[in-house]
């Protein structure tokens, strides 16, 4: 399976309205704190927007809503795996991406035959407090050797300037969050990302 090499993650559907017209084809909606009804509407609107632009939208965490709203992709962190009904997710035909940070988590992810594996944080990240320090590019290379043909996503502290190094180290896809959302010109930054990942 060949996925787009650029994979931005957004916490609001407003970002999708900006990114999709610019040509982003693979992106994630990661909303953590939201009223359930509003969350459902956000996912529904996001999926409709992605379909309009021929893009794939990955729903983070909310597997029940992803199934009910007809999503094609779901991303789960390790804690999310504990609560998710994996047989139901598979029966619904959802493609699954899984976060990993160490060997035990990677073993767990690979046992579930994921559609991609994410490794992070490759570089220090300001997005959230994590117990893992930066993994570094050598870990990206190691992970790619372990996952084989499964697409590997490098995430955490990624920037346009660091993308080439991640690809050279073995990443198939690079994911960005704050490099876009905190940029003074997000649209121009997305364009730069698309160029760097072409």
Domain with residue 21: its CATH number is 3.20.20.70
pLDDT score at 3: 96
What does the alpha-carbon distance between residue 37 and residue 93 come to, in Å, rounded to a whole number?
Answer: 24
pLDDT score at 125: 77
Look at residue 198 and tell me if it is in a domain.
no
Look at residue 1 and tell me if it is in a domain.
no
pLDDT score at 1: 60
Q: Tell me the HSE value of 13 on the side-chain side, using a 13 A CA sphere.
A: 15
Look at residue 19 and tell me if it is in a domain.
yes
pLDDT score at 129: 61
Look at residue 176 and tell me if it is in a domain.
yes
Chain mean position to CA 80? 14
Residues in the chain where the model's pLDDT stays below 50: none
pLDDT score at 127: 60
Counted residue by residue, the chain has a size of: 198
Which structural domain, as residue segments, surrounds residue 148?
6-193
pLDDT score at 102: 95
Q: What is the largest CA-CA distance in the chain?
A: 43
Q: Convert the pLDDT of each residue in 5-21 to its tens digit.
A: 999 999 999 999 999 99
Look at residue 138 and tell me if it is in a domain.
yes
pLDDT score at 142: 98
Look at residue 12 and tell me if it is in a domain.
yes
Pair of tokens at residue 86: 């994996």
- Entry pTM: 0.96
What is the number of structural domains in the chain?
Answer: 1
């Amino acid at each position: 399976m060949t996925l787009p090499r650029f994979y931005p993650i957004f916490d609001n559907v407003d970002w999708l309205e900006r990114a999709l017209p610019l040509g982003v084809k693979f992106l994630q909606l990661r909303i953590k704190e939201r009223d359930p009804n509003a969350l459902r509407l956000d996912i529904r609107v996001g999926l409709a927007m992605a379909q309009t632009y021929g893009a794939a939208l990955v729903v983070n965490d909310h597997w029940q809503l992803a199934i009910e709203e007809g999503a094609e992709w779901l991303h789960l962190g390790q804690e999310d795996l504990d609560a998710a009904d994996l047989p139901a997710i598979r029966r619904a035909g959802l493609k699954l991406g899984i976060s990993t940070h160490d060997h035990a988590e990677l073993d767990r992810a690979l046992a579930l035959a994921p559609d991609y594996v994410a490794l992070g944080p490759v570089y220090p990240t300001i997005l959230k407090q994590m117990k893992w320090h930066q993994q570094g590019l050598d870990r990206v290379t190691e992970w790619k050797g372990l996952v084989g043909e499964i697409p590997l996503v490098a995430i955490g502290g990624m920037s346009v300037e660091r993308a080439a190094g991640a690809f050279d180290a073995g990443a198939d896809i690079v994911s960005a969050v704050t490099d876009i959302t905190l940029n003074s010109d997000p649209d121009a930054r997305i364009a730069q990302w698309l160029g760097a990942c072409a």
